[in-house]
Amino acid sequence: MKSEPLVLGIETSCDETAVGIVRGRTLLANVIASSVEEHALFGGVVPEIASRAHLESILVVLDAALKESKISLNDIDAVAVTAGPGLVGALLVGVSSASGLALGLGKPLYGVNHLAAHVSVDLLTHDEPVVPVIALLVSGGHSSLLQIDDITSSVVKLGESIDDAAGEAFDKIARVMGLGFPGGPAIDHEARLGNARAVDFPRGLTQSGDWQTRPFDFSFSGLKTAVARYLESTPKFIRADVAASFQEAIVDVLLLKALAACKKTGIDTLVIAGGVAANSRLRTLAAERCQAAKIRLRVPPAGLCTDNGAMVASLGSLMVASGRSPSQVDLEADSSLPVTSVSLN
Amino acid sequence: MEEFFFVSITLAIDTSTSRTSVAIVDEGALLWHGFRDGATSHGSAVPALVSEALNRAPIIEQVVVGMGPGPFTGLRIGIAFARTFALARLIPVIGVCSLDAIASQVHEKDDFIVATDARRREVYWAQYRAGVRVEGPHVDLPSVLVERGLPVFGEGAVKYSIAQNDEDQFPDMVALVNLAQDSDFQIDEPLYIRRPDAVPTSERVK
Ligand SMILES: [Zn+2]
C-alpha cells in the first residue's frame, strides 16, 4: 500500500464548495468558494441556494486546486468526498462530481464522514500520529465528544449536544444581538472588548447529577434562553460584555467536559476540531487548561477548522494508506450519517 | 463561422425526469441504453449505469447531458457527473434542453406540448411546431396546458391525466445527442425555471 497517497478531496456538505489535494500528510492545495454572502441575506443557510452554488463553483474550484497543487489529475491515487452528514441536495452535488471524476479517471472513490474529516485535518499540521485521542468536535451542525482509536475505522461517541450545536448557539445569539450571520466570527470579534465575567450565564448539564447521568453531553438551549432574557430585561446592556460572557459560558462547558473525558478515559491527547475550533477564546482557554492538566492539545490552524477540502483529502489519504477498501462507485450520500461511520461502502 | 466536426462515441446522460437514462451513441446509432426509474435514485443510478456503459465503450469522445428543466436535485446530479467525467477525460461536455429530446419522438403535424413533472402539482412544459420548440420552457399548473387545447405528451402529462397517450414520456437519448451537434441548441447552465425556495435551515423543522 502506498505510504504517501495523492488524494483529491471534495467537500460540499453545507455552503462551501471546497477541493483539497494532499500527498500523504502534506497539503498541496486547499481552495474554497463560499456562498455565505447569499445566505446572510436570509440569516441562515438556504439549502437550494447552497446546492446551486456548488454546481456553479465546483469546476472552478477543482481547476484552481489543480493549478495550486501543480499536479495532473491523472496522477492522483484516489478521490475522496464528503458523503455525509450534511444537506442532502448539497452533498449530492459533491458526491456526483466525485464519482464522475473517479469513473472518468478510473480511480477509487472514498465516501467519507464529514465529522471524522474535521478531526483528521489535524494530521496535516502535526507530525506525530497520536492515537488514541479524545476529540471535541464543535461546528454549526454538531457538538460531540469522541474517543478515536483509529480515525479510519474506530470512532466512539462519548457524548453530544442534546439540543443546539455550539455553532448554532453562536448563530442564534448573534441574531438576537443584531450581530449578523454567521454568528461565530461576529461574537468572537465583539467579545474581544468585553468582560467575560460581566454576566454569569448558565453552564448546561454541569449540575452534580448531570455529571452522573450525562457527563459528556452538552445542552445550549438554556444558555440561549438566558441570554435572550438578559437582553430583554437589561435595556442598557453592554453588547461586548454580553458577547464575552456568553462565549465564556460555551467555551467553559466545552472544555470542562472535554477534559473530564480525557481524565475518565486516561487519554492524554485532546484534538479540537470543527468550525467553532476557530474561536479565539476557545483556543486560548484550551491551551491554558490543557497545560494545567498535562494534556497534549492539538488544534488545527483556524483556516483548516472551518469546512474545507483538505480535511476530506487527508482522511481519504489515511484510508488509502491504511488499506481500507474504497466505496462503491454508486455510493449514496447520507445526510444523517452517524459520526461513528467513518466511511461508506 | 460554424465549425463542423463529427464526434463518434458519445456518453449521453439525462436526469431531468424520474427516469435516469444513460446511453452510448455512436455516429447517431444507439449502441447501448440503460435506465433506472425512481424520482430519488438518480444519485446512485448515474454512476452505476455509466459503469455499465463504460464496459461497452471504454473510450468516450464527448459527453452530452440533459439540462432540464427538471426537479433540481436530480437534475444537478446528472450535470455535475457529466462535467467532472468530461474534465477527467479531457473531452467536451454539451448540454441541451431535455424537453426537446422528448419532443423529437412525437410525430404530430400540428402544434403540441411536452410536459414533465415539476412536482408541487405543476409541470415543466414547452410548445412545439413541426418538432421545433416555439415556446417555453415554462413551469405552470396542468390546467394552463388544458386551456391551450393542444395534444400533450410526457411524464407530466401522464401524471396529471392530460396526456395524448402514455408513450414517449422520457428523453430520447439519440435525439439528445443529435441536438447537441447544433450550436443553436447548446445550453451551458441548468434550466431551473423556478427560483430557489428561500428558507434557511435554521427556520426548518429538525
Ligand atoms: Zn463542518
What separation in Å is there between the alpha carbon of B82 and the centre of ligand 1? 27
Please give the Cα distance from A182 to A180 (Å, whole number).
6
The mean pLDDT of B41-60, rounded to a whole number, is 96
Are residues B68 and B75 in contact, defined by beta-carbon separation less than 8 angstroms? yes
Q: How far is A159 from chain B (nearest CA, A)?
A: 19
Q: Classify A247 as helix, strand or coil.
A: helix
> Given pLDDT bands bounded at 50, 70 and 90, which one contains residue B1?
very low
Output the furthest CA–CA distance in chain B (Å, rounded).
55
Residues with CB under 5 A from ligand 1 (ion): A 139, 307
pLDDT score recorded for residue A126:
80
Distance, CA A147 to ligand 1 centroid (Å)?
18
pLDDT in tens, A11-57: 999 999 999 999 999 999 999 998 888 888 787 789 999 999 999 99
Would you state the pLDDT for residue B70?
A: 96
Q: Cβ contacts of residue A324 below 8 Å, gap of 6+?
A: A110, A152, A153, A343
Put simply, the answer to whether B196 touches A46 (Cβ < 8 Å) is: yes
Gap from CA of A168 to ligand 1 centroid (Å): 12
Query: Is pLDDT of B4 > 60?
Result: no
CA of residue A113 to ligand 1 center, whole Å:
10
Phi (first) and psi of residue A178, to 5 degrees: 70, 30
**Searching chain A, which residue's CA lies closest to the CA of residue B192?**
A52
Give the H or E element holding residue A156. Answer: strand A154-160
- Which band of pLDDT confidence, cut at 50, 70 and 90, is reported for residue B166? confident
B89–chain A Cβ distance below 8 A for any pair: yes
Nearest Cα to Cα of residue A316 among A25, A104, A14, A64? A25
Q: Which of A48, A105, A332 sits opposite B197 (nearest CB)?
A: A48
Could you tell me whether strands B112-117 and B93-96 are parallel, antiparallel, or unpaired per DSSP bridges? unpaired
**Segment A111-123 mean pLDDT:** 94
Residue pairs spanning A and B at CB distance below 8 A: 124
Query: How far B38 CA sits from the closest chain A CA (Å)?
Result: 14
Q: For the beta carbon of residue B1, count every other beta carbon within 10 angstroms.
A: 3
- B192: which chain A residues are within 8 Å (Cβ-Cβ)? 52
* Residue A213 amino acid letter: T
Band of the pLDDT at B204, cuts 50, 70, 90?
very low
CB contact under 8 A, A100 and B82: yes
pLDDT for the residue B206: 33
Q: Which residues pair with A148 in a beta bridge?
A: A133, A155
Share of chain A above pLDDT 70, in %: 99
CB-CB under 8 Å, A171 with B84: no
- The arithmetic mean of pLDDT across residues A217-241, rounded, is 94
Q: How confident is the model at residue B164 (pLDDT cuts 50, 70, 90)?
A: confident
Instruction: Kindly indicate the confidence band of residue B201, based on its pLDDT and cuts at 50, 70 and 90.
Output: low
E strand spans, chain B: 9-14, 19-26, 29-37, 62-66, 93-96, 112-117, 123-129, 132-140, 152-153
The nearest alpha carbon in chain B to A109 belongs to B47
**Mean confidence (pLDDT) of chain A:** 94
Give dist(CA B11, CA B65) in Å, integer.
Answer: 8
Q: According to the model, what pLDDT value does residue A20 have?
A: 98
B84 in contact with A at a CB cutoff of 8 Å?
yes
Q: What is the pLDDT of residues A317-340, one digit of tens each?
A: 999 999 999 999 999 999 999 999
Contact of A240 with A191, CB cutoff 8 Å: yes
**Residue B94 in this model has a pLDDT that exceeds 60:** yes
pLDDT tens digits for A50-76?
999 999 999 999 999 999 999 999 999
β-bridge mates for residue B25, sequence order: B10, B30
Return d(Cα A212, Cα A223) in angstroms, integer: 21
Cβ within 8 Å, pair B80-A93: yes
Whole-number Å distance, alpha carbon A115 to ligand 1 midpoint, is: 7
- Residue where the block lists cell 449540575: A207
Residue A1 has pLDDT above 60, yes or no: no
* Residue B5, pLDDT score: 52
- Burial class from Cβ neighbours inside 10 Å (0-12, 13-18, 19+) for residue A171 reads buried
Q: Report d(CA A79, CA A112) in Å as an integer.
A: 10
- How much is the pLDDT for B6? 57
Nearest chain B Cα distance for residue A221, angstroms: 14
pLDDT given at position A270: 97
Question: What's the pLDDT tens digit per position in A69-104?
Answer: 999 999 999 999 999 999 999 999 999 999 999 999
Confidence of residue B205 (pLDDT cuts 50, 70, 90): very low
Is the pLDDT assigned to residue A143 strictly greater than 70? yes
Contact A103 B199 (CB under 8 A): no
Q: What percent of chain B has pLDDT over 70?
A: 92
